[in-house]
């Protein structure tokens, strides 16, 4: 479970939710204890969860991580929340699952074909969509501005920027 997943899990604990998670790596024991989290296969997680939140990078392995088969495994009363990357969810399969009542609803901060949004999903009463602004809080924007400023100051001083992504090519 990554940083964002752990932050969501901490908030879910405030609602007395049981935390189930799946990841390519297990989280450290201390965090498991704090979150009272239980690791399980994706198949079992989908079958046992009321809310499934996605917080994964987009890779060839995670593209359409959630498709027809996965949506069919979910409870009819479950909600799918995608706050990672749009193509992690097969939107055609999601629309079909929502229309057929296979799941209760969806919350989407990202879309498979951004900036285009599925008209089918937009028309549904059981879908909540926001335009990829989940991080648009004052605190987050302030932190982003401070990070950018620190990087600019470092470059102007002839120093290596603290948040450089590819230091091997920096001169």
Positions marked active-site: 85, 114, 132
- Token digits of residue 104: 């209760």
Q: Which of 31, 56, 28 is nearest to 42 (CA)?
A: 56
Q: DSSP letter at 169?
A: G
Nearest partner of 5 among 66, 56, 46, judged by Cα:
56
Q: What is the CB neighbour count within 10 angstroms for residue 72?
A: 14
* CA–CA gap between residue 167 and residue 21 (Å, rounded): 34
Backbone angles phi, psi at 37, to 5 degrees: -90, 145
| Helix H or strand E segment including 39 | strand 37-39
């Amino acid at each position: 479970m990554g940083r964002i997943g752990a932050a969501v899990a901490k908030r879910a604990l405030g609602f007395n939710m049981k935390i189930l998670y799946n990841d390519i790596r297990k989280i450290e024991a201390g965090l498991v204890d704090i979150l009272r989290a239980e690791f399980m296969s994706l198949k079992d997680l989908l079958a046992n969860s009321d809310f499934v939140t996605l917080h994964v990078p987009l890779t060839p392995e995670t593209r359409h991580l959630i498709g027809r088969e996965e949506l069919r495994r979910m409870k009819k009363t479950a909600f799918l929340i995608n706050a990672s990357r749009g193509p992690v969810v097969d939107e055609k399969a999601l629309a079909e699952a929502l229309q057929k009542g296979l799941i209760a609803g969806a919350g989407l901060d990202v879309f498979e074909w951004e900036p285009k949004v599925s008209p089918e999903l937009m028309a549904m009463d059981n879908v909540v969509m926001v335009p990829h602004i989940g991080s648009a809080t004052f605190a987050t924007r302030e932190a982003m501005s401070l990070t950018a400023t620190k990087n600019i100051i470092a470059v102007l001083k002839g120093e290596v920027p603290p948040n450089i992504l590819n230091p091997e090519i920096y001169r």
